[in-house]
Chain A
Amino acid sequence: MILLDCNSLVYATERQSDPKIAELGVRLRHYLAQLSERETPVAVPSLVLYEYLCGYPVEDHPQMVSALETNYIIFDVGVAAASKAAELFRNRPADTGPKQRAKLDTLIAATAVVEGVSEIVSEDRDYTALTLGQIATKKPSQLPKPPRDLFEDTPDEQ
């Protein structure tokens, strides 16, 4: 099972002025299509859902939540995750950045651990370090590009 963090959702859905960041979304969408073909479940923790929805007017939330909960496993942050997060946070590596951000990301990481996630897709956070090596992190920039469309950017025939 694969888990997406908030930045992955943002890169894949929101307009990015930096073409390099925009390309991450393209790679991520291609990867998700491959996961669908392999029937690999993709998950989003409710905390990530919260972070993502913060960018949108409340009236849009029901439609967004409906699209996500139909197609993604949405994990609650329960007692087990809270307990695991506290354990991971107390044993976190030294270079995990600002404390409050690290606390939130550790809770996402702990949710992934207790729910049996094998891989977290994130460009910006090393979840492998946060989970003390229990879960792999895959960066969208390391995902393969989708194959080029045969008719895309083809020079006009003379």
Chain B
Amino acid sequence: MVSPALTVTIDNGDRTLRPSGVRIRDLLRVGELIEAAVVEATGRELDEEGVPLVTLAGVREGSLKLVLAVAAVAATTAATTLAAVGAADYSQIPPNAQDQLADLSRYLVTRDWSARLSGLTRKPVVIDAAHPVPAAKRVRLTERRTVYGECILSGGVQPKARLRLTSNRRLLWITGSEQLVQQLGTRLYDVVGVSGTAIVDARTHEVLSFQADTVTPYSGRKADPAAALDVLAKIARRVESTSPIDRTESEGDL
């Protein structure tokens, strides 16, 4: 399937930016932030065939035009996200996607650049000082929480790990002690549970940041739910041998 192309044209206010005036790393950073926004909006990094949702399809006009291929599976969400920017109405897109676009907006404005994004929406969308993207408005709550997810990364100078949450498949960075992160490192690509302090969005309940302090005993791929029932059944037999278990107390309708 042909991936829709998203063209990002960089310019500055007085249109004096020369084709050679943009460094490769700056242009790639623009692409990286767009990719991050699409990943946050869709809640996934890859399509069904394992291909990244946003890939580099070309650099044109010196370094002024970046052409990105958006995977078909993400095209509608990417278009909706960009349309939200065009309409300055962010109510229908995930706050994390908006925050990535806000980062892109700051990045462009600090360089006095303007980005014109075309190809996915009916009208091109412009992000610049006159059309900035604000950070998502959030009411934050701090709560104790346990999250479960597949550990896909672990390590770093500042110890952290990345989980793909079982609840919504979204990616979450968690911070913790070096020892905790090392412990998670031994469980790469396994489902782990971590408890800690979460800062969550009060409206969406989405976890914005997570400071982990404990890895739960859940054994992931090695879990054997039927074996656990054997342990429970053994205890049940012993208890039943002295007195019947009264399920009417707790169950009511059992």
**Is the CB of A154 closer than 8 A to any CB of chain B?**
no
Closest partner residue, chain A, to B232 (CB atom): A13
B218–A67 CB distance below 8 A: no
**Known contacts A15-B237, A73-B166; 4 further A-B pairs (Cβ under 8 A):** A51-B251, A55-B250, A73-B148, A114-B167
Give the interface residue-count category, chain A.
35 or more
List residues of chain B with CB within 8 A of the CB of A97: 253
**Is the CB of A143 closer than 8 A to any CB of chain B?**
no
List residues of chain B with CB within 8 A of the CB of A83: 205
A51–B205 CB distance below 8 A: no
- A 1-20 binary contact with B (CB < 8 Å = 1; else 0): 10000110110111100000
* Stretch from B70-78, B92-100, B121-129, B241-249 that touches the partner: B241-249
- B 213-254 binary contact with A (CB < 8 Å = 1; else 0): 000111101011111110111011101100001110111111
For residue B212, give the distance in angstroms from its CB to the closest CB of chain A.
15
B216–A60 CB distance below 8 A: no
Kindly identify which residue among A10, A14, A67, A114 contacts B205, using a CB–CB cutoff of 8 Å. A114
**Is the CB of A29 closer than 8 A to any CB of chain B?**
yes
For residue A75, give the distance in angstroms from its CB to the closest CB of chain B.
8
**Is the CB of A144 closer than 8 A to any CB of chain B?**
no
List residues of chain A with CB within 8 A of the CB of B233: 12-14
B143–A69 CB distance below 8 A: no
For residue A106, give the distance in angstroms from its CB to the closest CB of chain B.
15
Closest partner residue, chain B, to A29 (CB atom): B226
Binding site for A on B (CB under 8 A): 141, 143, 145-146, 148, 165-169, 191, 193, 200, 205, 216-219, 221, 223-229, 231-233, 235-237, 239-240, 245-247, 249-254
For residue B206, give the distance in angstroms from its CB to the closest CB of chain A.
9
B205–A124 CB distance below 8 A: no
B245–A55 CB distance below 8 A: yes
Closest partner residue, chain A, to B204 (CB atom): A80
- Cβ contacts A to B, 20 pairs, < 8 Å: A10-B251, A32-B225, A32-B226, A35-B225, A39-B221, A55-B247, A56-B245, A64-B235, A70-B223, A71-B224, A71-B225, A71-B227, A71-B228, A72-B218, A73-B148, A74-B193, A74-B218, A79-B143, A79-B200, A80-B205
Binding site for B on A (CB under 8 A): 1, 6-7, 9-10, 12-15, 29, 32-33, 35-36, 39, 41-42, 51-52, 54-57, 60, 63-64, 66-76, 78-80, 83, 97-98, 101, 114-116, 124
